[in-house]
Amino acid sequence: MKDLQQTTSLKWFESEQELQEHDLELYVAAKNAANKAYAAYSGFHVGCALRLDDNSIFIGNNQENIAFPSGLCAERVALFAAKANHPDKSIKSIAIYAYSEHAKHAGVVSPCGGCRQVMIEYEQNNPHPIPVFMPGPNHTIYMVDSVAALLPFFFESKAVKKQS
């Protein structure tokens, strides 16, 4: 047996004021999107903002539905909308913001597993890694340099493609 060590680098910002101007703009866009989420059942509002290579910003928010699991997460709403409208543009960065009407979160709020899988596929087709900003406790912000840091053993599309 061999032991494999894998590490992830995580940056931590004490407040929004520590972010660079373009990152702050993206994070605020995610926060504004969370405020418009349809979270009628969970009370958990999530917003996502993507910056494309032309510096345009696409937003998404969670959309719940009484017929669970018919709703959709903020990250997938933003990614699908951006790529449906601009399939040839790359993604420069992603910001996520979340809050609950019922509880105060104690840790970093990161994307769910389904969103991570969608995000990693877009990153694999992107010319560079995609940094992800996420909210932490007490208005802190966490950032990873790549979606792969959130899902190190992702399911790769080449696993299902025919070999030539």
- Find the CATH number of the domain harbouring 124: 3.40.140.10
Q: Are strands 132-135 and 91-100 parallel, antiparallel or unpaired?
A: parallel
What string of DSSP letters covers 60-77?
EE-B--SSTT--B-HHHH
Average of pLDDT values for 129-156? 93
> Which are the catalytic amino acids?
75
On the question of pLDDT at 164 being above 70, the answer is no
Give CA–CA dist 147/1, Å, rounded.
29
Domain total in the chain: 1
In a domain, 119, yes or no: yes
Inter-residue contact 142 to 12 (CB < 8 Å): yes
Q: Is the dihedral of CA 122, 107, 66, 32 positive or negative?
A: negative
Domain around 125: 10-154
In a domain, 111, yes or no: yes
In a domain, 100, yes or no: yes
In a domain, 16, yes or no: yes
Band (pLDDT 50/70/90 cuts) for residue 59 is very high
In a domain, 49, yes or no: yes
Please count the CA atoms within 13 angstroms of the CA of 118 that sit on its side-chain side: 17
- Tell me the pLDDT tens digit for each residue of 143-154: 999 999 999 877
Q: CB neighbours (10 Å) of residue 94?
A: 26
Beta carbons within 8 Å of 11's beta carbon, 6+ residues apart: 142, 143, 144, 145
Q: What is the pLDDT of residue 105?
A: 75
In a domain, 162, yes or no: no
- Tell me the pLDDT tens digit for each residue of 70-124: 999 999 999 999 999 999 999 999 999 999 988 887 789 999 999 999 999 999 9
In a domain, 130, yes or no: yes
The residue among 93 and 159 whose pLDDT is bigger is 93
Average of pLDDT values for 41-60? 97
Band (pLDDT 50/70/90 cuts) for residue 69 is confident
- Farthest-apart Cα atoms in the chain, separation: 53
Give CA–CA dist 38/47, Å, rounded.
10
Coil, strand or helix at 143: strand
In a domain, 71, yes or no: yes
Inter-residue contact 66 to 55 (CB < 8 Å): no
